[in-house]
Amino acid sequence: MTPRLSLTVLVDNTTLTDRYFTGEPGLSFLLETKEKKILFDTGYSDAFLANATKMGISLLNLDYLVLSHGHLDHTGGLVALARHLTEAKIESITHQLPELIAHTRCFYPKENLPLQNNGSILNEEEVRRQYPVNLSDRPVWITEDLVFLGEIPRKFTFEKVISGKRMLVQPDGTIVPDLLLDDSALVFRSDTGLIIITGCSHAGICNITEYAREVCGEDRVVDIIGGLHLLSPDLKQMKMTGEYLRDLHLNALHACHCTSLVAKLALANYCPMQETGVGMHLEW
C-alpha cells in the first residue's frame, strides 16, 4: 500500500548512527502526502538545506512552509530558504514559492534576556515580501487529512506555561509576558489514527493532543514526533504526562529536540519510545 504520509528529519539535535549529516539544536521535518510537499520548521541555520541536498531532496518545489512557533531554533533557516529560492529565480531554475502558515503571533519580537530577540530574524513585513502568508489562530486544513492546529487551548494545569524572563513585543509596542501562544503543531489523520507533529510543544503535549483529537474528530493517536519541551520537568508533570501518553496506546513516541535524556528515559516506562535523528524517514 502506498503510504499516505512520509516524514524525513532534516534537522534535530542528533543524527542517526552512521548517517553523516549535520545536527544542531533545532528542528526541521519534510512531510510529503499524495498531494502536497510541506517543510515544517527550518531549524537554526542552513543545515536543513545542506542535509536535504545530501539526501537528494529538492526544496524548490515546496507547497507549504509551516512554522510551529517563532523561536530562532525553528525559524532561523528562513533567510537561507529565501536566499535559496531567490538564487533559483536568478538562474531561471524551476521553483515555486511555498505558502507560509503560522500563528498570528509567530513573528512578534520575543525578548528573553540577555537576548533582545530570540524570535525570527525576519519580521512579518519581510516575510510577506518573500512568501505568500497565512497567519491564523484557527485550524488551517492543508489537505483533507493534514491540519495546522492554530492556537492550542491550555486545558491541563500541570502543563501551565510560566513566562519567566520571556517577554513579547506587541505591534503597538507594549511588552507583555510571553506565554508562547504562538506554539502550534501539525496533525495527520490516517486510517488508523492521528500522527501528531510538534516543534517544541510549549503549549504542552497533552494539551496539543487533546485539541488534535477535537479538531480531527478522532480519539486514536498512532504516533507523536517532535520536541516535547521536557527539559527539566518536575516529578508531577512527568508522571501526569507519562500517564496521559500511556493511555493513548501509541504505536510509537518519537520524542526529540527539546526532550531531555532524563525525560525520554522516564517516558519509556509509559510508551514505546523510539530513537529519532537527522536522516530518519517514517511512513504512515
Per residue in 186-242, pLDDT (tens digit) is 999 999 999 999 999 999 999 999 999 999 999 999 999 999 999 988 999 999 999
Bridge-partner residues for 186, per DSSP? Answer: 148, 197
Give the Cβ contact number of residue 218 at 10 Å: 16
Bridge-partner residues for 251, per DSSP? Answer: none
Burial of residue 160 (number of CB atoms within 10 Å: 0-12, 13-18, 19+): exposed
Dihedral of the CA atoms 191, 193, 198, 204 (nearest 10)? 160
Q: For residue 167, which amino acid is it?
A: M
| Closest to 144 in 3D by CA, of 39, 4, 8 | 4
Say if residue 160's pLDDT is above 70: yes
Work out the mean pLDDT of the chain and round it to a whole number: 96
Across 230-256, average pLDDT: 96
pLDDT band of residue 2 (cuts 50, 70, 90) is low
Say if residue 254's pLDDT is above 70: yes
Alpha-carbon distance 158 to 204, whole Å? 9
| Closest to 192 in 3D by CA, of 145, 157, 155 | 145
What's residue 3's pLDDT?
A: 61
CA 7 to chain CA centroid, Å, is: 12
E strand segments, the chain:
5-11, 28-33, 37-40, 64-66, 99-102, 110-112, 133-135, 140-141, 146-148, 166-169, 175-177, 185-190, 193-198, 221-227, 252-256, 281-283
SS3 227: strand
Dihedral of the CA atoms 67, 72, 78, 79 (nearest 10)? 170
SS3 211: helix
Bridge-based pairing state of the strands 166-169 and 110-112: antiparallel
Report the predicted TM-score, pTM, of the whole model to 2 decimal places.
Answer: 0.97
| Closest to 188 in 3D by CA, of 13, 10, 36 | 36
Say if residue 167's pLDDT is above 90: yes
Longest dimension (CA), the chain: 56
Residue 54 lies in domain: 5-283
Give the Cβ contact number of residue 200 at 10 Å: 23
Alpha-carbon distance 66 to 74, whole Å? 10
Q: Are 52 and 59 in contact (CB under 8 A)?
A: yes
Say if residue 1's pLDDT is above 70: no
Percent of the chain with pLDDT over 90: 95
Assign residue 161 the CATH number of its domain.
3.60.15.10
Across 32-51, average pLDDT: 97
Percent of the chain with pLDDT over 70: 99
Q: How many domains does the chain have?
A: 1
